[in-house]
Structure 1
C-alpha cells in the first residue's frame, strides 16, 4: 500500500473515531450528570 493511501486511511479512521466520540459525549453527558448527581447525593448520606 502506498504511503499516501495509508495516510488517507488513518485520517478517515481518525475522523470516524472523532465523530463517534462526539456523539457518545453528547449522549453520555446527560447520563454522566445523572450519575454524578446520584453519586454526590449518595456521598452526602
Structure 2
C-alpha cells in the first residue's frame, strides 16, 4: 500500500464519519422540534 492509497482510505473514512455526524445532528434537531410541537399541542 502506497502513502497515497493510505491517504485516500483515511479521507474516505473521514467523509463517512462527517456524513454520520451531519445525519445524526439533523435527526436530533428534527426530533427536538417535533417534541416541542407535541409539548405545545398537549
Please indicate, yes or no, whether the TM-score normalized by the shorter chain is above 0.5.
yes
Per the normalisation by structure 2, the TM-score is 0.67
Q: Is 1:23 aligned with 2:36?
A: no
RMSD after superposition: 1.5
Per the normalisation by structure 1, the TM-score is 0.63
Q: Is 1:4 aligned with 2:14?
A: yes
Q: Which runs of 5+ in 2 are unaligned?
A: 1-10
Q: Which runs of 5+ in 1 are unaligned?
A: 34-45
Find runs of 4+ consecutive structure 1 residues off by over 4 angstroms. none
